[in-house]
Amino acid sequence: MTNPKEMLEVYQFEGCPFCRKVRQKMTELGLDFIARQVDSEDRTRVEKVSGQSNVPVLVDPNNDTVMPESDDIVEYLEEHYS
Ligand SMILES: N[C@@H](CCC(=O)N[C@@H](CS)C(=O)NCC(=O)O)C(=O)O
Protein backbone atom coordinates (compact mmCIF):
# COMPACT_ATOMS: atom_id res chain seq x y z
CA MET A 1 0.00 0.00 0.00
CA THR A 2 1.30 3.43 -0.93
CA ASN A 3 0.66 5.90 1.84
CA PRO A 4 -1.62 8.80 0.93
CA LYS A 5 -0.02 12.11 -0.07
CA GLU A 6 -1.15 13.98 3.04
CA MET A 7 -0.85 12.23 6.39
CA LEU A 8 -4.03 10.82 7.92
CA GLU A 9 -4.85 11.99 11.46
CA VAL A 10 -6.69 10.13 14.21
CA TYR A 11 -8.08 12.00 17.22
CA GLN A 12 -7.96 9.46 20.01
CA PHE A 13 -6.74 8.47 23.43
CA GLU A 14 -4.97 5.38 24.68
CA GLY A 15 -7.67 3.83 26.90
CA CYS A 16 -10.42 4.00 24.28
CA PRO A 17 -11.29 0.59 22.76
CA PHE A 18 -12.92 2.17 19.69
CA CYS A 19 -9.70 4.12 19.08
CA ARG A 20 -7.67 0.93 19.42
CA LYS A 21 -9.77 -0.70 16.72
CA VAL A 22 -8.98 2.17 14.35
CA ARG A 23 -5.25 2.21 15.22
CA GLN A 24 -5.09 -1.53 14.59
CA LYS A 25 -6.73 -1.13 11.18
CA MET A 26 -4.29 1.64 10.24
CA THR A 27 -1.40 -0.63 11.23
CA GLU A 28 -2.88 -3.63 9.41
CA LEU A 29 -3.10 -1.53 6.25
CA GLY A 30 0.45 -0.19 6.71
CA LEU A 31 -0.73 3.40 6.92
CA ASP A 32 1.30 6.15 8.56
CA PHE A 33 -0.83 8.47 10.65
CA ILE A 34 -0.64 11.29 13.16
CA ALA A 35 -2.14 10.37 16.53
CA ARG A 36 -3.81 13.53 17.85
CA GLN A 37 -4.07 13.11 21.59
CA VAL A 38 -7.46 13.94 23.11
CA ASP A 39 -7.83 14.39 26.86
CA SER A 40 -10.55 11.98 27.98
CA GLU A 41 -11.83 14.71 30.35
CA ASP A 42 -11.58 17.64 27.92
CA ARG A 43 -12.96 17.14 24.42
CA THR A 44 -12.31 20.69 23.19
CA ARG A 45 -9.74 19.50 20.68
CA VAL A 46 -11.93 16.92 18.97
CA GLU A 47 -14.98 19.19 19.16
CA LYS A 48 -13.10 21.88 17.25
CA VAL A 49 -12.23 19.58 14.39
CA SER A 50 -15.40 17.48 14.17
CA GLY A 51 -18.26 19.37 15.86
CA GLN A 52 -18.89 16.50 18.28
CA SER A 53 -17.13 15.07 21.31
CA ASN A 54 -16.69 11.34 20.66
CA VAL A 55 -13.41 9.73 19.71
CA PRO A 56 -12.09 8.29 17.48
CA VAL A 57 -12.25 10.80 14.64
CA LEU A 58 -10.41 10.34 11.36
CA VAL A 59 -9.23 13.35 9.40
CA ASP A 60 -8.24 12.61 5.80
CA PRO A 61 -7.02 15.81 4.15
CA ASN A 62 -6.71 13.94 0.84
CA ASN A 63 -10.50 13.72 0.56
CA ASP A 64 -11.59 16.62 2.81
CA THR A 65 -13.03 14.02 5.15
CA VAL A 66 -13.67 14.36 8.90
CA MET A 67 -15.30 11.21 10.23
CA PRO A 68 -16.36 9.92 13.68
CA GLU A 69 -17.63 6.36 14.44
CA SER A 70 -15.03 3.59 14.48
CA ASP A 71 -16.97 1.18 12.26
CA ASP A 72 -17.44 3.90 9.62
CA ILE A 73 -13.75 4.78 9.85
CA VAL A 74 -12.67 1.14 9.42
CA GLU A 75 -14.97 0.75 6.42
CA TYR A 76 -13.65 4.01 4.93
CA LEU A 77 -10.02 2.93 5.37
CA GLU A 78 -10.67 -0.45 3.76
CA GLU A 79 -12.48 1.21 0.89
CA HIS A 80 -9.87 3.88 0.20
CA TYR A 81 -6.56 2.46 1.38
CA SER A 82 -6.45 -1.34 1.01
N1 LIG B 1 -19.95 4.36 18.43
C2 LIG B 1 -18.73 5.07 18.70
C3 LIG B 1 -18.43 5.04 20.18
C4 LIG B 1 -17.22 5.88 20.51
C5 LIG B 1 -17.15 6.14 21.99
O6 LIG B 1 -18.10 5.86 22.75
N7 LIG B 1 -16.01 6.68 22.40
C8 LIG B 1 -15.89 7.08 23.78
C9 LIG B 1 -14.46 6.93 24.28
S10 LIG B 1 -14.02 5.22 24.37
C11 LIG B 1 -16.29 8.52 23.87
O12 LIG B 1 -15.69 9.38 23.23
N13 LIG B 1 -17.36 8.78 24.64
C14 LIG B 1 -17.89 10.12 24.82
C15 LIG B 1 -17.56 10.70 26.14
O16 LIG B 1 -16.94 10.01 26.97
O17 LIG B 1 -17.87 11.89 26.33
C18 LIG B 1 -17.60 4.47 17.87
O19 LIG B 1 -17.67 3.27 17.53
O20 LIG B 1 -16.65 5.21 17.53
Span 50-67, pLDDT tens digits: 999 999 999 999 999 999
Atom of ligand 1 nearest to the CA of 54: 12
Distance 80 CA to ligand 1 centre (A): 23
Integer angstrom CA distances of residue 36 from 5, 8, 77:
18, 10, 18
Centre of ligand 1 from the C-alpha of residue 28, in Å: 22
d(CA 35, CA 45): 13
Query: Which of 13, 18, 50 to mutate for ligand 1's pocket (most ligand atoms within 8 Å of CB)?
Result: 18
DSSP-assigned states of every residue in 29-46: TT--EEEEE-BTTB-HHH
CATH numbers and ranges of domains, the chain? 8-81 (3.40.30.10)
Which pTM does this prediction carry? 0.97
The model's pLDDT over 33-53, given as tens digits with 9 standing for 90+, comes to 999 999 999 999 999 999 999
What pLDDT, on the 0 to 100 scale, is given for residue 1?
60
